[in-house]
Amino acid sequence: MTPKLISTSPENIDADALAIVLFEADAKGKRPGGRYNDLTGGLISDLYASKEFTGKLLSTALIHRPAGMKTRRLLLVGGGKASELTPAALRQAAGTAVRALKDKGCRSLGLAVDGPSVSGDQVQALTEGAILGNYEPDAYKTSTEKSGAFQEVLVLGRKSTQKNVGRGKAIAEAQNFSRSLVNEPGNLLTPQKLAAAAVEMGKKAGLQVEVLDRKQLEKLKMGALLGVAIGSAEPPVMIIVRYQPKKTRNSKMHLGLVGKAVTFDTGGISIKPADNMEKMKYDMAGGGAMLGAMMALAALEPAVPVTAVIPSVENMPGSRAQRPGDVVTTMAGQTVEVLNTDAEGRLILSDALTYAKQLGCTHLVDAATLTGAIVVALGHVHVGAFANQDAWRNRLLASANAAGEKMWPMPLDEEYKEQLKSIIADLPNIGTRWGGAITAAMFLKQFADPAPWVHLDIAGTAWLEESKPYMAKGPTGVGVRTFVDLAMKLKPGSR
């Protein structure tokens, strides 16, 4: 979908549909949409009066061939209370407009907001919402069943907001790239295929991509990662994507983005039940988010170096597979007793975190579909955010807020470490039943320290079980927008 900025009056927009975001009537009962009401000869006022349309967030009403306007259809989309308007609400409203119309044979869409002219941030949010709403996870459907898609979206705004359209496009397309990777089935997206996709993305975006193979991983002594990989015929890889700012030298800040990429998680010998196992193709969503973030950052050019480190394996119960009770030695030298082969994410991430520090990353963020326990704790609404430093987590949470991605701080007190005791080795890879998301994070902390680090458990938020008015069900691409916002706000001169 190509987004374009358009600065004419709404009545002149010649599109299959024009969507306008309208708000709830204010306390004085004054109905919004005055300008559009005049244009349409009182139509909008009628809809408010009959309560057919109230402006409630994400509600819609469709009008065909509105008088006084060039557009073929006029879609009213609720923006909620005007006084509570956020970019997040506009992003969702734009996505809702696209999804309400894309199967109705529409190919071009205009997007406008009632009231005084929209800000740059709002133009960016509208652009993002439209592109995200246009995505459909139906890559392998044959043509007859495929759903429609918009080719063009015209965002109504001032000329000065042109660059915000570009920004929104870069970010949303990167998020959709991440979603399409996560949607790929395990047979078609193996660790090596993921690496190939990263290389291809890097070529197009202008990023340096390096892929370490099994031999190189053995040389680096990544015993925890290799132990997980050994049960599969598919060889493991470590994908490293580098962004180096053109203007900055000797940056004090170097962001490391570490993402879990288990292309399929059967659980290994501690095998998972058959029910819902097919969903474990999304166990590479952390790595997918980091690749998406890097794609956007290549276009947006932050001032600090950013390196993505993505360990990728398939977790299978083959005849060579690691057994419960096996002991492996991590790259950092710590030994781990693998009590449960299904707790594989923390094993591959431990080596990746160590390696990211070795590559010079000063600040770390990891994203992983790490535990079922985070879904019990936070459901499908918030990402769980664990950290070893409050200041660094607060910066990440501020970015999450700005990007409209819900994340919630989780505890990581030393007491939780008491669960991580092994008789035979330095650490077991699991704790007790209780606080499973926290003990998983506590395990990772041993390898991230002393670098400022945030761990995001995205097991509950990387996959949408039911579609939203503004987003298809399936992969969400969660994290991409937050990581981009964070990287763009970092400064080379300060930590």
From the list Zn ion, ligand BES, none, which binds 352 (C-beta under 5 to 8 Å, kind-based)?
A: none
422 binds ligand BES (CB under 6 A): no
Distances (CA, A) of 227 to 197, 348, 451: 24, 9, 25
Helices (H), 155-190: 162-183
Q: Segment near Zn ion (CB under 5 A), from 119-127, 342-350, 394-402, 467-475?
A: 342-350
From the list ligand BES, Zn ion, none, which binds 459 (C-beta under 5 to 8 Å, kind-based)?
A: ligand BES
Strand order in the sheet with 326-329: 326-329, 335-338, 427-428
Assign 114 to helix, strand or coil.
Answer: coil
Assign 469 to helix, strand or coil.
Answer: coil
Mask: binding to Zn ion, 57-96, rule CB under 5 A, as x and -?
----------------------------------------
CB nearer Zn ion, residue 113 or residue 291:
291
Enter the DSSP assignment of 471. B
254-273 binders of Zn ion (CB under 5 A): 262, 265
CB of 100 to ligand BES, least distance (A): 30
From the list Zn ion, ligand BES, none, which binds 79 (C-beta under 5 to 8 Å, kind-based)?
A: none
173 binds Zn ion (CB under 5 A): no
Q: Is there a catalytic annotation at residue 107?
A: no
Mask: binding to ligand BES, 314-343, rule CB under 6 A, as x and -?
--------------------------x-xx
Q: Is there a catalytic annotation at residue 272?
A: yes
Decide: residue 193, CB within 10 A, 0-12 exposed, 13-18 middle, 19+ buried.
middle
436 binds ligand BES (CB under 6 A): yes
Do residues 479 and 405 lie in contact, with contact meaning Cβ atoms separated by under 8 Å?
Answer: yes
CB of 132 to ligand BES, least distance (A): 22
The sign one gets for the Cα dihedral 168, 173, 179, 182 is negative
Q: At 257, which amino acid appears?
A: L
From the list ligand BES, Zn ion, none, which binds 244 (C-beta under 5 to 8 Å, kind-based)?
A: none
- Quick one: tokens of 112? 């406008």
CB nearer ligand BES, residue 71 or residue 369:
369
457 binds ligand BES (CB under 6 A): no
Q: Which of 283, 366, 405, 485 binds Zn ion (CB under 5 A)?
A: 283
16 binds Zn ion (CB under 5 A): no
Rounded CA separation 198/348 (Å): 18
Do residues 258 and 215 lie in contact, with contact meaning Cβ atoms separated by under 8 Å?
Answer: no
From the list Zn ion, ligand BES, none, which binds 288 (C-beta under 5 to 8 Å, kind-based)?
A: none
Mask: binding to ligand BES, 343-372, rule CB under 6 A, as x and -?
xxx-----------------------xxxx
CB of 319 to Zn ion, least distance (A): 19
Helices 120-133 and 87-101 meet at what angle, rounded to 10? 40
Q: Under 8 Å CB-to-CB from 461, ≥6 apart: which residues? A: 380, 381, 382, 383, 406, 476, 478
314 binds Zn ion (CB under 5 A): no
CB of 460 to ligand BES, least distance (A): 7
CB of 379 to ligand BES, least distance (A): 12
Q: Which of 3, 345, 460, 475 binds Zn ion (CB under 5 A)?
A: 345
CB nearer Zn ion, residue 136 or residue 344:
344
Catalytic residue among 179, 346, 445, 481: 346
Rounded CA separation 66/53 (Å): 16
- Cis before 450 (ω within 30): yes
Rounded CA separation 199/194 (Å): 9
Do residues 21 and 79 lie in contact, with contact meaning Cβ atoms separated by under 8 Å?
Answer: yes
263 binds ligand BES (CB under 6 A): no
Decide: residue 42, CB within 10 A, 0-12 exposed, 13-18 middle, 19+ buried.
exposed
CB atoms within 10 A of CB 339: 16
Adjacent-strand bridge partners of 327: 337
Catalytic residue among 4, 35, 272, 468: 272
Active site amino acids: 272, 346
Name the residues that contact ligand BES, by CB under 6 A: 265, 267, 283, 340, 342-345, 369-373, 430, 436, 459
